[in-house]
Structure 1
Amino acid sequence: MSSNAYTSAIVKQNDDKPAIVINNISKSFSIFKRPVDKLLQMFSMREKPYCEIFIALNQVSLIINRYETVGIVGPNGSGKSTLLQIIAGLLQPNNGYVKVNGRSAALLELGAGFNPEFTGRENIYLNAAILGLTQREIDERLSHILDFSGLHNFIDRAVNTYSSGMYVRLAFSIALSVNPDILIIDEALAVGDNGFQRKCIARIEEMRDAGVTILFVSHAIDMITQLCDRAVLMDRGEILLDGTPKDIASNYYRLTQAPIIDREHIRAEILSSDKNKSLKTQYLDPTIDLTFFTESRVEHGGNLAKISNPRIETSNGCPANLLTHGKSYVLRYEVTFLTPCQKVRFATLFKTKSGVEIGGRATNRLSDNLPDFNIGERISVLFNFTCRLMPGIYFANAGVNGLINGVRQPIHRILDAMMFQVLPNHDDSISGIVDLNIKSSYCSADKA
């Protein structure tokens, strides 16, 4: 399957929302020592249960932006697989919620979603149907699934006769066939042979470059650093650190390779680090309202280049639609060029909710250094600003134009691409829409 096929799938998705929003989820399991204890617990009025409560996840919050590749690492039992199963819809959290925006495909524990008595061919139709494909779509993609898996000679055998590597080959090939917006992988590649692993990694890189959001768990730290834009370190059901793959790798080794007597101290150090404080701020500070999306969005163009994922971020990269007066932010969006384009300009414009234009910014109209882009190129556009707006609701546009065959024209424009709120403050000395940073003073009229 070509990168263009993945790109065409991505263009259709709702780009103004994060791919995955995980908000304050917890998950616990009841552990019974004897089977009869489960029955006794059902009928017992005792306060002391017949089981132990294992907390797999403890108030976990995480946002995965569209087009990100994020790796999750941590010691065994840290909650990684439980988190992925909740995202994939196989488990329900005890509290909190998960929102997945887009078609997802998941590769979780070995054989998940397969009927062991069915043949490989029958499981293709079963599993692909669960992932949302029609029978006609599966028929059209069957040859690609077989070619990628390399299981032509075994496809009509029951999968309970398959090796673990054959399971992975079949599952991975089916997951790729659905053109997912979001791909979720839980250590599935660890049991494949080296040749197939390299083949899968190459396909994952192709999907990543085409804009698929990828979230995966792996103990192979080199794979995390090779593939990921960002990584998360988990331990005991909590997120200890969210950062660059390099930082996460070094802290993972610190935590897992230290003597047991030192691990509690190292864990506390990671939790109290400055990077971790930035992570906690993302969820404790009022920076984002997950239900807050523009309903007045209008798009023009988009056939020659495509703006995607317009958003506002804090200075440390956290998504934000609840802004604080005086703080610095970044308005950001991605552009994918679907045709060659020269002398490209990018722009944004802030407006009130009644449509009054407040101000904006565009690439210098007269600059001779405006960039050119080829078909398939994808870039991030950033506008840094300090919030000088007064409390209220505002909108922002996003736009791109350029020379197509020597003629300048608008390529893609999104009106009301972002909706955000500036939070109330306690300064009643400023009036109007924008704080002009006017300084007041007074002196005796006789000395004026």
Structure 2
Amino acid sequence: MPALMEMNQPDRPETTIKVNHASKRFDIYETPLDRLKHIVFPRRTGYAREFWALRDVSLSVTRGETVGIIGRNGSGKSTLLQIICGTLRPTAGDIAINGRVAALLELGAGFNVEFSGRENVYLNAAMLGMTAAQIERKFASIEKFAEIGDFIDQPVKTYSSGMYVRLAFAVAIHVDPAVLIIDEALAVGDARFQAKCFNKIKELKESGVTILFVSHDVGSVRTLCERAIWLDGGRVRMEGNAFAVTAQYTQFMSEGLGEGEPIGVSRQSADGATALEEDAKESVRPVASIAGDEPINHWGTHVGSIVSAQVLDSSRQQQSVFAAFEPMIVRFVIHVPEGIDRRALSVAFSIKDTKGTDLIVRTTYDEKSIDFDCDGSEIEIEFCLRNQLNAGRYLLVAALEDRSGAVPQYYEYIEGACYFSSHVQSGRYGLFLPDITEKLCMEEMPLDKQ
């Protein structure tokens, strides 16, 4: 029988969320009359068809871990979060939670729109297990963080979406949660408030709060999360390092779906396996560790077009360590695919940190610097720059693009074509080492004023 239970296992106190083979089925009715017939005659079949939003999902999250959950619309992300929160019960499987869960799910959940913001703060915090005295002590801090001014005493139905999220997030982070769940809600906030929220999330993370973060923004997932889980068709398609999982997910979304394939629906094959499972066997390749020397991601319509991609020093020797401000050469050897429109061909590179953040990006298409409409199938290209990266480990992304459309299509894309480190002798803050000169400017004062 499915269960939602408090976890009190002394041998594994570090685990805050444990999901064991969770599945969730919904009955889909063609008409309201079919629903009524099913209620009146529950033992009869044929009134509804089954839809499995989740199938056999298992995961474990430890204390202080930040885990990203990604996937297309309809992949089961929100259903999984609602089961973890306890607002839905699984059809099968067990959920174990250790500690208080605070959640920011879809906009509109959790508050009574007829109540004022103040009343909803007390109601919501009380539902999460706080006493009136505890809420009273924290109310001023909640009000200050939300920054909604006099609207705190106005009905929530008068709030904008941004004001709603401000108050909901302020409550969630002040109830001392063991688990904080965020489901895309921060996307409606302004840039300043989003930055404020991300800083607070990092503080909670450092204090040991477990965070589940659902977002379509791959950059945010890579910045906040060590680990990511990719859901597709209600199943876990991939789980692991956030950079690696989001790389595979980005590839999947870039390549697009088959013609006529509806999002979030699995096709059933003759042997009973879903098409999503079959696709996963073919398209999700083994992924290397970031600490290794293999590509994190490698795909495209013409794999093999990039013959080599290297980062060289001024003597054109490949190096694994570059000193600050040392000359660098990003060198590609490209085999141009046959039959393509060379006028739309572009060679691109980016340098990323180990979280997957693009730090330096350059394409021949944007700069219109090279004409590929020439004889010969093999071309050598060099991009020259100086190393102005702060100390750390970096990777090279190499791409051969078709820029004939509004969105680039990839003949080949290699994320992690090679790796290198930047060595800086003195400790510096920031990501880059820009050219900055310093001088002391003192205006001579008139003698009568000295």
**TM-score relative to the length of structure 1:** 0.56
Q: Deviations over 1:218-264 (max 9, x none)?
A: 11110000000100111000001111111111111122222322995
Task: Tell me the distance in 2 between the aligned counterparts of 1:267 and 1:209.
Answer: 35
- 2:113 aligned counterpart, secondary structure: coil
Task: Tell me the distance in 1 between the aligned counterparts of 2:179 and 2:67.
Answer: 11
Q: How does 1:271-350 map to 2 (within 5 A)?
A: 273=286
Question: Contact 2:115 / 2:156 at 8 angstroms: preserved in 1?
Answer: yes
Amino acid at match of 2:218: I
Alignment of 1:267 onto 2:272 = no
Amino acid at match of 2:119: E
Match of 1:254 in 2: 251
Amino acid at match of 1:44: F
- 2:15 aligned counterpart, secondary structure: coil
Task: Tell me the distance in 2 between the aligned counterparts of 1:15 and 1:201.
Answer: 29
Which runs of at least 4 in structure 1 moved beyond 6 Å after TM superposition?
Answer: none
Alignment of 1:168 onto 2:168 = no
Q: Deviations over 1:249-302 (max 9, x none)?
A: 111112222232299565333567579xxxxxxxxxxxxxxxxxxxxxxxxxxx
Q: Give the drift of 1:77.
A: 0.5
Q: Give the drift of 1:45.
A: 6.7
Match of 2:103 in 1: 106
- Aligned counterpart in structure 1 of residue 54 of structure 2, from 29, 54, 57: 57
- Aligned counterpart in structure 2 of residue 229 of structure 1, from 212, 226, 229: 226
Match of 1:181 in 2: 178
User: What is the identity percentage for the equivalent residue pairs of Structure 1 and Structure 2?
Assistant: 48
Match of 2:115 in 1: 118
- Aligned counterpart in structure 2 of residue 22 of structure 1, from 19, 23, 34: 19
Amino acid at match of 1:192: G
Amino acid at match of 2:126: A
Gaps of 5+ in 2: 1-9, 262-275, 289-450
Q: Give the drift of 1:37.
A: 1.4
Question: Contact 1:14 / 1:102 at 8 angstroms: preserved in 2?
Answer: no
Question: Contact 2:244 / 2:287 at 8 angstroms: preserved in 1?
Answer: no
Match of 1:200 in 2: 197
- Please give the root-mean-square deviation of Cα atoms over the aligned residues, in Å: 2.1
- 1:16 aligned counterpart, secondary structure: coil
Question: Contact 1:187 / 1:218 at 8 angstroms: preserved in 2?
Answer: yes
Question: Contact 1:240 / 1:270 at 8 angstroms: preserved in 2?
Answer: no
Indicate the larger mover: 261-270 or 101-110: 261-270
Question: Contact 2:38 / 2:44 at 8 angstroms: preserved in 1?
Answer: no
Question: Contact 1:254 / 1:266 at 8 angstroms: preserved in 2?
Answer: no
Distance 1:224 1:256, change over 3 A: same
Q: Deviations over 1:50-84 (max 9, x none)?
A: 22211100010000111110000001100001000
Q: How does 1:81-96 map to 2 (within 5 A)?
A: 81-96=78-93
Task: Tell me the distance in 2 between the aligned counterparts of 1:244 and 1:269.
Answer: 20
Distance 1:192 1:14, change over 3 A: farther
Task: Tell me the distance in 1 between the aligned counterparts of 2:256 and 2:104.
Answer: 33
Amino acid at match of 2:187: A
- 1:118 aligned counterpart, secondary structure: coil
Match of 1:281 in 2: none
**Between Structure 1 and Structure 2, whose CA radius of gyration is higher?**
2
Q: Deviations over 1:343-367 (max 9, x none)?
A: xxxxxxxxxxxxxxxxxxxxxxxxx
Task: Tell me the distance in 2 between the aligned counterparts of 1:67 and 1:270.
Answer: 32
Q: Give the drift of 1:165.
A: 0.8
- 2:246 aligned counterpart, secondary structure: helix
Match of 1:131 in 2: 128
Distance 1:270 1:101, change over 3 A: farther
Task: Tell me the distance in 2 between the aligned counterparts of 1:114 and 1:259.
Answer: 37
Distance 1:45 1:82, change over 3 A: closer
- 2:153 aligned counterpart, secondary structure: coil
Question: Contact 1:28 / 1:94 at 8 angstroms: preserved in 2?
Answer: yes
Task: Tell me the distance in 2 between the aligned counterparts of 1:51 and 1:143.
Answer: 50
Gaps of 5+ in 1: 1-12, 276-448
Match of 1:215 in 2: 212
Matched length: 263
